[in-house]
Amino acid sequence: MTALLDVRNLQTHFFTRDGVAKAVDGVSFSLERGQILGLVGESGSGKSVTGFSILGLVDPPGRVTGGRILFDGDDLVAGGEAALRPLRGKRIAMIFQDPMMTLNPVLRIDTQMIETVRAHDRVTKAEALRRSREALVQVGISSPDERLQGYPHQFSGGMRQRVAIAIALLHKPDLIIADEPTTALDVTIQAQILSEVQALCTQSGTALIWITHDLAVVSGLADRLAVMYAGRIIEEGPTAEVISNPRHPYTRGLIDSVPQGKRHGAMLTQIKGMTPSLLNLPEGCKFAPRCPRADAACQVEPSLDPAGADRSLRCHHPYADADQRLTS
């Protein structure tokens, strides 16, 4: 079965006065129809830039400098803007962390949603309005007719985000790239959005890349999990396996940092140090300066190698089992 999305050795670099920042440096993964991939990591790990690169939304001084992005067999890097334009919003949709990257502040919501529908489908204005109304109901917006008459500034941040998600769902795309879309939503609406997204993926075969730092959300949503650090994937595999038995010290540190499930009064674990500057990355393993298991071997950059039947790992000294902890 051919993957819907196949990213191979993707490289996205930013060329600045101070040097070249390798925001994405050799990222590879594939995604089947109906599959949900969670892309997690700290701020600055390259996960959002990976999503922007797929849709060709990286602005200067950044650009995709290498690799291939195969969508349904077509190379989007080689095809350039001509290949991407008919796909954006129709077959590939993006939900941004900031809804105002989607919404025009001077146009009513109905105008924006109708334009989105009719940009790709030859339908009447009434049909486009009907689809828009249904999409708003799908994301939990009551009184959709009233909301369609409003402007973005009249909505709360959470309401604007729901409208942005509704716009992404209008065409039932083959692939949705969601960049922390539920950050501004309350828990109840967040659960509804996650349920709707899962149903869409199951029923229509839509594939989803869910970019987040919230492990609690992604653990119940994604089929597979890819953990990024300093522009590279350092661990990848089925979500349940990665969460229950993280083998890379960085993944273990992220999971141990989550307060949920900790004994009351117990000290929380944290990863020491800060994420490195992309302009001044350490030699060898990029996590070595923060890693409790680092030694001289880590001065050589590890490759992303198979670690079992369905997992990959970039580490010289991975954990062998779930009983060892980051603090050991």
Query: Do residues 51 and 101 lie in contact, with contact meaning Cβ atoms separated by under 8 Å?
Result: no
Residue 323 has pLDDT above 70, yes or no: no
Residues 6+ apart with CB under 8 A from 23: 12, 13, 14, 46, 49, 62, 231, 278
Interval 233-287: pLDDT, tens: 999 999 999 999 999 999 999 988 887 767 777 777 889 888 899 999 999 999 9
What pLDDT score was predicted for residue 288?
96
Any idea of the CA torsion for 269, 274, 275, 276, to the nearest 10 degrees?
-150
As to burial, measured by CB atoms within 10 angstroms (0-12 exposed, 13-18 middle, 19+ buried), residue 73 is: exposed
What pLDDT score was predicted for residue 225?
97
Interval 24-39: pLDDT, tens: 999 999 999 999 999 9
Total length of the chain: 328
Residue 325 has pLDDT above 60, yes or no: no
Interval 64-122: pLDDT, tens: 999 999 999 999 999 999 999 999 999 999 999 888 888 999 999 999 999 999 999 99
Going by CATH, does the domain composed of 1-91+173-189+201-328 fall within 1.20.1730.10?
A: no
What pLDDT score was predicted for residue 264?
78
Residues 6+ apart with CB under 8 A from 162: 136, 139, 140, 141, 185, 189, 193
What pLDDT score was predicted for residue 1?
60
Any idea of the CA torsion for 159, 160, 165, 168, to the nearest 10 degrees?
150
Interval 280-304: pLDDT, tens: 999 999 999 999 999 999 999 999 9
Dihedrals phi, psi of 310, to nearest 5 degrees: -140, 30
- Report the DSSP beta bridge partners of residue 29: 7
Interval 124-170: pLDDT, tens: 999 999 999 999 998 888 899 999 999 999 998 888 988 999 999 99
What pLDDT score was predicted for residue 188?
82
Residue 59 has pLDDT above 70, yes or no: yes
Interval 165-213: pLDDT, tens: 999 999 999 999 999 888 777 888 788 888 888 888 888 899 999 999 8
pTM of the model: 0.91
